[in-house]
Amino acid sequence: MESSGFWRRTPAFTPSKIHVEYSGQAITADTAVRGPSLQRTSSPEPTSRPLTATSQSPLSDQLSPLSIQSPLSAQSPHMPVDPTLEKFHGALGAATIDLALLQKLSWTGVPREYRAITWQLLMGYLPLASTRRAGTLQRKRKEYGDWVRQTFARGEDALDRVLWRQIQVDVPRTSPGSPVFQHPRVQRCLERILYAWAARHPASGYVQGINDLLTPFVYVFLEAECNGDTTALDRADLDAIDDARMDGVEADSFWSLSKLLDGIQDNYTHAQPGIQRQIVKLKDLVTRVDHALAAHLHNEGVEFVQFAFRWINCLLMRELRLASIIRMWDTYLAEPNGFATFHIYVCAAMLLKWSAQLRAMDFQQIMLFLQQPPALQWPAEDVELLLSEAYMLKCLYHDAPRHLHKN
């Protein structure tokens, strides 16, 4: 598949391939709260319990904190230490996290072993000071748990029926090809999170597409609870995760989604003005960088809103594999206003990649192509290239808005 010259200019960043090892040890103020522990500990014997939104409490009374074991401790003494793991271990092990350093390390990809804790720190869900982390985590998880118990105490009949019905319709459609998100236990988790967020944000309420934005958080936090089995999520072997840890995944996912949406909330208020503004910015950017492509789209009657609305509303969740999205979010979280600002440059870089092909298509062909772009099977290298090209666009145009307009 031919790509534009612009697309080929910058080499891609390639993250290291990492093997996952986790521990069942919980973070406490005196141990792993300062960062991943170097001591291997055995995991507790898991129990299984289906989660249901009934009069019974869907969340455990005791919510265990996120636990992470340093992958460095699992390496053979004769194996070379992975430099990326070593850097993250050092950054996360500090008494007070250097946020600028963590952002710099995360831009080129966060190792799977450290992704959950890194995302929570970058989003501001967890404090940078290690001595405050365990207490904050316990308080936030309890707050969410109390709210869920109170909301669902009287059963589904007491809920907003229109909202609850829409969520129940959308959840089974969320990542339909993933066994993880088709697992009943995870679906009940998604339903409660989405209802809780909508009820706490009446100005925007629930909008289709928010369900997609929840999935990376749930996947990453579930992955951190799979006790080192990297294939457990692919097998949807989720019943092996005990109740307290599953409850922690749910609470952490709720607060992380809330942090994300706080930064782009006008994307989901009435008339979605945030998305409209970003579509205008995307059109201006593409017009300046590739005037021939923009002119061809205009001549064929293609409006940017016809394809870019979904790209922005769902943050490309429908166009790329979940693994690619998770890698991209490493960078988004390391960027200032990554989901609101950097995402536009990612969308532009993706459109420019197909410039030559699009300029040879008519209206119908363009719409079919952009509604189902050939990005689902992209290898990791293409995702890295997309991010590096987006960064180049940002460096050239973000601080020079006049460059977006032709003289």
Q: For 96-148, how does the pLDDT look when each residue is reduced to its tens digit (9 = 90+)?
A: 999 999 999 999 999 999 999 999 999 999 999 999 999 999 999 999 999 99
Q: What is the pLDDT of residue 331?
A: 98
Q: What is the pLDDT of residue 70?
A: 53
**201 three-class SS:** coil
Report d(CA 154, CA 145) in Å as an integer. 15
Report d(CA 323, CA 350) in Å as an integer. 17
Of residues 340 and 59, more confidently modeled: 340
Angle at 229 between CA 225 and CA 230, to 5 degrees: 95
Q: For 291-329, how does the pLDDT look when each residue is reduced to its tens digit (9 = 90+)?
A: 999 999 999 999 999 999 999 999 999 999 999 999 999
Contacts of 267 (CB under 8 A, 6+ apart): 274, 275, 278, 312, 313
Q: What is the pLDDT of residue 68?
A: 44
Q: Give 3-state DSSP helix, strand, coil % of the chain, rounded to 5.
A: 60, 0, 40
Q: For 238-283, how does the pLDDT look when each residue is reduced to its tens digit (9 = 90+)?
A: 888 889 999 999 999 999 999 999 999 899 888 899 999 999 999 9
Angle at 100 between CA 71 and CA 138, to 5 degrees: 60
Report d(CA 61, CA 59) in Å as an integer. 6
* Biggest CA pair distance of the chain: 68
Among residues 363, 344, 357, 354, the alpha carbon closest in space to that of 306 is found at 363
Of residues 179 and 45, more confidently modeled: 179
Q: What is the pLDDT of residue 392?
A: 96
Are the C-beta atoms of 124 and 338 separated by less than 8 Å?
A: no
pTM: 0.81
